[in-house]
Amino acid sequence: SAVISQKPSRDICQRGTSLTIQCQVDSQVTMMFWYRQQPGQSLTLIATANQGSEATYESGFVIDKFPISRPNLTFSTLTVSNMSPEDSSIYLCSVGGAGQPQHFGDGTRLSIL
Amino acid sequence: KQEVTQIPAALSVPEGENLVLNCSFTDSAIYNLQWFRQDPGKGLTSLLLIQSSQREQTSGRLNASLDKSSGRSTLYIAASQPGDSATYLCAVNSGNTPLVFGKGTRLSVIA
């Protein structure tokens, strides 16, 4: 199974600032997904990132707030922009699908003061 | 729109008990169902994947079943151990669509 590394593992940020989360996979993958898990809640998909095209965002998430890059088949970044306390969550990167198990990184635990 | 429900929300059992976690989904046209484990503050670990053509999958003390027509899956854990304490998440997808998750069952196994 794919090994997924996320950086940073956790951060504490000031409101109004931005943070970029990195996701590195040890093999080439077509689709990468970014999820958010708010405290005490399950996972909500933010967007699907395909290499060479614009990310596809789910309802309630917009590119200006969560810009995503996918420069190659093993790497992606998610930026959380102009952060507010409501953005305090765990952000998770995932790969897989189409009949194969979906695997997740360890996540980035983000707290906004 | 697919919705996934997990019952119970929380469960506490003494060590050694066998237990069953339940998952139901509203749209039976699924491609895969996947069970995950999540430890506090951590990412997700994939436990079992059941494809729509399969009825069950087994890994060690874990057995997951799928009844696609009724929109249900169960995760059976045999001889539970304190190390099994975690949140267990069920998720489904259809083809290349992303996974839709339930809210999970928080399991505590008491020594």
Q: A92 — contact with chain B (CB < 8 Å)?
A: yes
Chains A–B, number of C-beta pairs less than 8 Å apart: 55
Kindly indicate the confidence band of residue A12, based on its pLDDT and cuts at 50, 70 and 90. very high
pLDDT of residue A98: 64
pLDDT of residue A97: 67
Strands A10-13, A75-80: parallel, antiparallel or unpaired by DSSP? unpaired
Residue A108 · residue A91 · CB < 8 Å? yes
- Rounded to an integer, the average pLDDT of A80-107 is 90
Kindly indicate the confidence band of residue A107, based on its pLDDT and cuts at 50, 70 and 90. very high
Give pLDDT tens digits for B82-103: 999 999 999 998 876 788 999 9
Of the partner residues B36, B42, B91, the one whose CB lies closest to the CB of residue A107: B42
Question: Left if phi > 0, otherwise alpha if psi is -120 to 50, otherwise beta: which for A16?
Answer: left
Residue A98 · residue A106 · CB < 8 Å? no
- Rounded to an integer, the average pLDDT of B45-74 is 95
Kindly indicate the confidence band of residue A41, based on its pLDDT and cuts at 50, 70 and 90. confident
Q: B19 — contact with chain A (CB < 8 Å)?
A: no
Kindly indicate the confidence band of residue B8, based on its pLDDT and cuts at 50, 70 and 90. very high
Angle among Cα B23, B33, B35 to the nearest 5 degrees reads: 65
Q: Centre a 10 Å sphere on the Cβ of residue A94 and count the other Cβ atoms it contains.
A: 27
Residue of A nearest to B95 (CA): A98
- Rounded to an integer, the average pLDDT of B41-46 is 88
pLDDT of residue A96: 83
Chain B positions in Cβ-Cβ contact with residue A89 (cut-off 8 Å): none
- Rounded to an integer, the average pLDDT of A60-87 is 95
Q: A42 — contact with chain B (CB < 8 Å)?
A: yes
Residue, of A5 and A41, whose pLDDT is higher: A5
pLDDT of residue B74: 98
Most B CBs within 10 A among A6, A94, A104, A109, hence the mutation to make, goes to A104
Kindly indicate the confidence band of residue A85, based on its pLDDT and cuts at 50, 70 and 90. very high
Of the partner residues A1, A42, A97, the one whose CB lies closest to the CB of residue B103: A42
Kindly indicate the confidence band of residue A4, based on its pLDDT and cuts at 50, 70 and 90. very high
pLDDT of residue B82: 97
Q: B104 — contact with chain A (CB < 8 Å)?
A: yes
Residue of A nearest to B53 (CA): A99
CA atoms A58, A60, A64, A67: torsion sign:
negative
